[in-house]
Each structure stands twice: as C-alpha cells, then as structure tokens.
C-alpha cells in the first residue's frame, strides 16, 4: 500500500475540481441521466461494498 499518497483533502479537492467541469442536471433538457432518487442513493450506499463478481460471499445481494 502506498504510504506516501495524497491526503484526503487533496484527493477530494482533485475530485471536486473534476466534478465542477460536469454539466449539472438542471441544465440538461432531455436525457436519460437524471439526479438519482434519495432512496436509490441510500440503497447504493448500503451495498457499495458488495461484489457480485464473487456472489458466493454475498448471497443476499445476489437474491436482490
């Protein structure tokens, strides 16, 4: 593991700079991309560590 990497603040700053270049959903008139529903965000965060590439370890996630 890299012990000399960037600080958390540096990483988040780089990500924020990149994100600021993206078009906001409020400026898109017609697209399949929309802001995710708040419940979808919570569901995603609940399963963010699940890896269906190895569904033997995550049978509950596979059932979904």
Contact 29, 35 (CB under 8 A): no
H or E element that contains 3: none
How confident is the model at residue 54, as a pLDDT? Answer: 87
Over 60: is that where the pLDDT of 1 sits?
Answer: no
The domain limits of the chain are 8-63
pLDDT reported for residue 53: 87
Question: What is the pTM (predicted TM-score) of this model?
Answer: 0.57
| Burial class (CB within 10 angstroms; exposed 0-12, middle 13-18, buried 19+) of 31 | exposed
pLDDT tens for 7-62 read 999 999 999 999 999 887 776 666 677 778 899 899 999 999 998 888 889 999 89
| pLDDT reported for residue 12 | 96
| Helical residues (DSSP H) of 1-64, grouped into ranges | 8-20, 38-46, 59-63
Tokens 């000399």 map to which residue?
4
């Amino acid at each position: 593991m890299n012990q000399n990497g960037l600080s958390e603040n540096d990483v988040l700053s780089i990500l924020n700079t990149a994100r600021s270049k993206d078009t906001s959903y409020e400026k898109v008139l017609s697209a399949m991309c929309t802001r995710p529903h708040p419940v979808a965000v919570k569901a995603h965060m609940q399963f963010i560590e699940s890896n269906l590439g190895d569904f033997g370890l995550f049978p509950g996630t596979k059932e979904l």
